[in-house]
A and B are shown apart, each in its own frame.
Chain A
Amino acid sequence: MCYTENMFGFIKDGHVFGECKRSGLGLWECPPFLFIVMGFINICAMLGSYFLASRYTDEPMVAALVVVSVSVLILVIGNFIISGFNKIAEANLLKSEFISIVSHQLRSPLSIFKWTMDILIKESEGQKFNRDDGMYLNILKENTERMIQLVSLLLEANRIESNRLVLARNPIPLYKITEDMVNSVIWYAKAYNVEIELHPLLSPPDIIGDMDRVKMVVQNLIDNAIRYSRGKGKIDVYIKSEGRFLKWEIHDDGVGIPREQQKFIFQKFFRSDNAVKHQTQGSGLGLFIAKAVVEELGGEIGFKSEIDTGSTFWFTLPIKP
């Protein structure tokens, strides 16, 4: 979509603000809005320069010339500024659309992979293949799953960026979700030589949130704690009531985050130097999404970390009233 073509359309339809919001742009970054502002500035400048000019000269021609040149100057500068913003806005929009199209187009063949693999694996379980074939199929299946997850993360990050993240708000058993998740990763943790423990909480209350998204946050934080362990470690998960909120906390004694990079940790695609060195896989999207989800649901998220000692990540979500 080209902003310049649609500029007058926006103004005519009175959709200036809505269209800017949909594009994920702030008001002062939005070309159609800036266009209107520049118009006002130009009118004021013309009137101002007319009064000033007529005060200092009696020649109407000179006054008119001053007004025209001031107006043309503002028009030219304004045009440069707006076309700059236009380019940024268009690039931003194109980027979002690009990710969205790529993600959807990638998903189609991925679902074919996934389902074909399901059939083949089912057949291999019926002894139609030898054992090695079954193993190779499982490798393919796991990696298809990884690709699917990455595409889903990209789509989710894209939705967050363009303000299209819509969350359900239902009562959710956060403790139960965590318990199930911890149980499902016990073997995975063992492979990393890490022990994981969820500390019990008596009659845990439900929180208000979006089931799939909250699961994703919990899974992401647990997954990080395991993957960035240094081997032979312990991970502790605590859930506590704190006023109107439940506080979920995970403590590990893993690689930690370098102090100077801590401020970037929730940024999209950011991975700390030692994280990249320690674990080559990772999209750098998990924490970006986690922060957006938790904050959208009215909670907070944060962490404490020391390099080579470990990290504690926590988030809060409102308890069901």
Chain B
Amino acid sequence: MNHIFDSSFVLHVSSFMKKILFIEDEPALQKTLSSAFTSEGFEVIQALDGETGVRLARQKKPDLLLLDLILPKMDGFEVLRQLQADPETKSIPVVVLTNLEGMGEVQKVIELGARDYLVKTNYKLDELVAKVKTSLNL
């Protein structure tokens, strides 16, 4: 899918780009979602497990975090807890993107400070991009 985006174009607009950190262990999902967001002018940072996610959130200071709940090394709930406990990452809005949809999970995640809770199969890519833009007030 990379042929759509000219690399010089990416470099050119990168300073205006909103940064999204996507924590998800499924490489295929990483790929599809990244390509959808980059084509909309976002920069996507990818993390394949919870620990890397927390580290990258501290290092790169993304504008928004997309977070899966079932993750290797550290699950999504713990990621949320650690980010909320750190004053430097506390203000980053987190949108949980998962296929778990028990009432318990939704409540727990919102209590832990997530901005939104989206069930993957219920959203088209376009709708997801629109949701993220609303969360970022774009």
A interface residue numbers (CB < 8 A to B): 104, 107-108, 110-112, 114-116, 118-119, 148, 151-152, 155, 159, 164, 166
23 interchain pairs (CB within 8 A)?
A104-B100, A107-B99, A107-B120, A108-B120, A111-B29, A111-B99, A112-B26, A112-B29, A114-B120, A114-B121, A115-B29, A115-B32, A115-B33, A115-B125, A118-B36, A118-B126, A119-B1, A148-B121, A151-B121, A152-B121, A159-B102, A164-B102, A166-B103
Name the interface residues of B1-41: CB closer than 8 Å to any CB of A.
Answer: 1, 26, 28-29, 32-33, 35-36
Q: Which chain A residues lie closer than 8 Å to B124 at the CB level?
A: 114-115, 118
Interface string of B79-111 (1 = CB under 8 A from A): 000000000000000000001111100000000
Q: Which residue of B lies closest to A149 (CB)?
A: B121
Q: Which chain B residues lie closer than 8 Å to A114 at the CB level?
A: 120-121, 124
Q: 8 smallest A-B Cβ distances: which pairs?
A: A111-B120, A107-B99, A166-B103, A118-B125, A115-B32, A148-B121, A112-B28, A111-B121
Q: Which chain A residues lie closer than 8 Å to B102 at the CB level?
A: 159, 164
Q: Please measure, in the bound complex, the distance between the C-alpha atom of A198 and the C-alpha atom of B103, giving whole angstroms.
A: 34
Q: Which chain A residues lie closer than 8 Å to B36 at the CB level?
A: 115, 118-119
Q: Please measure, in the bound complex, the distance between the C-alpha atom of A155 and the C-alpha atom of B29, giving whole angstroms.
A: 22
Which secondary structure dominates where chain B touches chain A?
helix
CB distance from B61 to the nearest CB of A (A): 27
Q: Which chain A residues lie closer than 8 Å to B100 at the CB level?
A: 104
Among the listed A108, A115, A116, A164, which residue makes an inter-chain contact with B99, where contact means beta carbons less than 8 Å apart?
A: A108
Q: Which residue of B lies closest to A126 (CB)?
A: B4
Q: Which chain A residues lie closer than 8 Å to B32 at the CB level?
A: 112, 115-116, 118-119
